[in-house]
Amino acid sequence: QRPHLPPGPPSLPLLGSVVWLTNSVAEIEPLLQRLFQRHGPIVALRMGARLSVFVADRHLAHTALVERGAALADRPQLVSSSSRRRAPGCAACSPTSSGRRRRPTCRRMWWRRSNTPCSASWCSCASASALDEPAVSAIAVAEREALVYRSRNMPVFAFLTAVTKHLLRARLDTVRVLRRRVTELILPLIDARRRYKINRRGGAGSEPRKQEETTFEHSYVDTLPSGDGSERPLTDDEIVLLCAEFLDGGTDTTSTALQWIMAELVKNPTMQEKLYTEITAITTDDKEEVYEEDVHKMPYLKAVILEGLRKHPPAHFVLPHKAAEDMEIGGYLIPKGTTVNFMVAEMSLDEREWENPTEFSPERFLPGGDGEGVDVTGTKEIRMMPFGVGRRICPGLGVAMLHLEYFVANMVRDFEWMEVPGHEVDFTEKNEFTVVMKKPLLPRLVPRMTTQISTNTH
Ligand code: HEM
């Protein structure tokens, strides 16, 4: 017997599910919570003619995304190019992210590099969003300094750091100018790679391309599966997009996570003190900053970051996936082409899985806690999935974890973060591209090394 579609509210032609008569798409999360209570952990909604399925159960998510990951490795085509960039989830949801069953060579190459701890450091993440947010401008300053430090210490990545800085500087400029700049900076890289490949094959014609030839018509060695099952080379335009994605990906998610974590530390001074004690035990006074090597020796710091990502995942859904063929999830039929969404926040706040899930308790990730040994990649099992899991897992996971550890450690080492009367920490959420603090964090920073109290309310 052919399985049924997942349960959900009835539908009307053109409109889709009747719930859209009384609910707005912006309020979809509370609506889904009610539907999960009524129908169970997998529900179907129609938005116009499009069928969307939402999965809130971690076991079903593991089966669908890890065990049978290939069938859900595509992204649905979104309505317009502007909405494509604005899909909920990570900023890196760019045109290059959609419609791929496997990442092209170029992207795999970049991401693999970025996920080794040392080379990851050059990548600027929190800065672009942080610059917009007065409440976390201290973070932007810290990160800019870190960038300078990185470029001094890692010459191999200095070029790419420069590209990042150009991206930031050009923030107020038009997208066209920015794209042009990135193109000019990245095309020599593409040329270098092409020459390398040609030379390796012993071929001729390895001359660098002249400036006036920098059009998007040329295509190169990295390939992409085309619709008919064959491979076609990536165009320059696509390579530039991939590189730009690598440079600005994850800016919003990382800075959102950073702000939630600092807010929790402001609200919980005992935890902040415990973290400070751990940091100072590892770093001596003469050290200018907490270095990347140091953060790996700080289990409580790691626990604070994980607890921040569990309680306040910046993306409450992963980016939408598309069923490449008819498939089954939890005994229900998911027809080919269906958009499938996974509920990140539901899983990490599930009362059946976590003790007092709404409480901020980094200790749960230490030995003996209910989160001990959690693997955020979800390879064996999913407990929480702030970065997604499976084939489309966030490729910036390593960069993001490193940046969060690095910045939290340095900011707590240099300042005591305190609540300001009248500006108490408010954990109310607001849906933007990520789920941000409705009332941004407004703490008082007291420098640790001097007695002078800062009146600066970042
Ligand atoms: C705390 C920080 C971050 C969080 C919570 C986060 C979360 C996510 C999530 C949930 C997804 C969707 C996974 C899925 O659809 O299954 C994603 C995708 C992605 N993220 Fe992140 N991310 C973060 C940082 C970063 C960083 C730093 C970068 C780049 C430097 C990045 C680049 C990407 C890209 C390119 C994708 C799309 C992957 C694809 O479609 O194959 N992210 N991220």
Q: Of the given ranges (177-186, 269-278, 437-446), which has the lowest mean pLDDT?
A: 177-186
Mutate to test the pocket of ligand 1, among 305, 394, 435 (most ligand atoms within 8 A of CB): 394
Position 180 scores a pLDDT of 59
Residue whose token pair is 């017997």: 1
- pLDDT over 90 (residue 84): no
Give distance in angstroms: CA of 363 to centre of ligand 1.
Answer: 26
Chain mean pLDDT for the chain: 73
Q: What is the mean pLDDT of residues 421-445?
A: 90
Alpha carbons 31 and 35: distance in angstroms, whole number? 6
What angle (nearest 5°) sits at the alpha carbon of residue 286, between those of residues 285 and 291? 85
Task: Report residue 332's pLDDT band, with 50, 70 and 90 as the boundaries.
Answer: very high
Residue 299 has pLDDT above 50, yes or no: yes
Bigger pLDDT: 92 or 374? 374
DSSP string, 87-144: -SS-TT--GGGSS-SS--HHHHHHHHHHTSHHHHTT---SHHHHHH-GGGHHHHHHHH
pLDDT at 322: 94
Q: Which residues contact 260 (CB under 8 A, 6 or more apart)?
A: 308, 311, 312, 314, 437
Give yes or no for residue 306 having a pLDDT over 80.
yes
| Helix residue ranges per DSSP H, 327-396 | 344-348
Reading the block at residue 245, the tokens are 């994605």
The CA distance from 167 to 245, in Å, is 11
Q: Are strands 444-447 and 415-418 parallel, antiparallel or unpaired?
A: antiparallel
**DSSP per-residue codes, 252-271:** HHHHHHHHHHHHHHHH-HHH
Q: What is the largest CA-CA distance in the chain?
A: 75
Q: How far is the CA of 321 from the centre of ligand 1 (A)?
A: 13
Residue 83: count of CB within 10 angstroms of its CB: 9
Atom of ligand 1 nearest to the CA of 315: 10
Distance 155 CA to ligand 1 centre (A): 26
Q: Given the CA of residue 75, which atom of ligand 1 is nearest to it?
A: 40
Cβ-contact 344, 318 below 8 angstroms: yes
**Rounded-to-integer distance, Cα 385 and Cα 310, Å:** 8
Whole-angstrom distance, CA of residue 321 vs CA of residue 50: 13
CA distance 454 to 283: 24
The token pair that represents 309 in the structure block: 């990502």
- The model's confidence at residue 191, banded by pLDDT at 50, 70 and 90, is low
123 belongs to an annotated ligand binding site: no
Tokens of 83: 């909405």
pLDDT level of residue 265 (50, 70, 90 thresholds): very high
Ligand 1: atom nearest CA of 257 is 1
Stretch 271-295: mean pLDDT: 89
- What's the CA gap between 368 and 358, in Å, rounded? 19
The residue nearest atom 42 of ligand 1, judged by CA position, is 250
Q: Residues 56-80: pLDDT tens digits?
A: 999 999 999 999 888 998 888 754 3
Q: Span 401-406, mean pLDDT?
A: 89
Task: Name all residues whose Cβ lies below 6 A of ligand 1.
Answer: 89-90, 92, 97, 123, 125, 245, 249-250, 253-254, 257, 314-315, 318-319, 386-388, 392, 394-396, 399-400
The tokens for 243 are: 């590189």
398 C-alpha to center of ligand 1: Å?
10
Lowest-pLDDT range of 55-69, 320-334, 444-458: 444-458
- What does the pLDDT read at residue 230? 72
More confident residue, 114 or 376: 376
DSSP run (H or E) holding 401: helix 397-414
Q: Ligand 1: distance of its center to the CA of 418 in Å? A: 31
Please state the atom number of ligand 1 nearest to the C-alpha of residue 313.
Answer: 5
| Contacts of residue 129, Cβ cutoff 8 Å, sequence gap at least 6 | 251, 252, 254, 255, 256
Residue 40 token pair: 């169970």
User: What ipTM was predicted for this assembly?
Assistant: 0.99
State how far the Cα of 139 lies from the Cα of 458, in Å rounded to an integer.
9
**What whole-number distance in Å separates Cα of residue 98 and Cα of residue 74?**
7
pLDDT at 252: 78
Whether 343 and 315 have beta carbons less than 8 Å apart is answered as no
Residues 143, 254 contacting (CB under 8 angstroms): no
Read off φ and ψ for residue 411, nearest 5 degrees.
-70, -35
More confident residue, 78 or 380: 380
Phi/psi for 232 (5° steps) reads -130, 150
Name the more confident of 302 and 93. Answer: 302
Instruction: Compute the distance from residue 253 Cα to the ligand 1 centre, in Å.
Output: 8
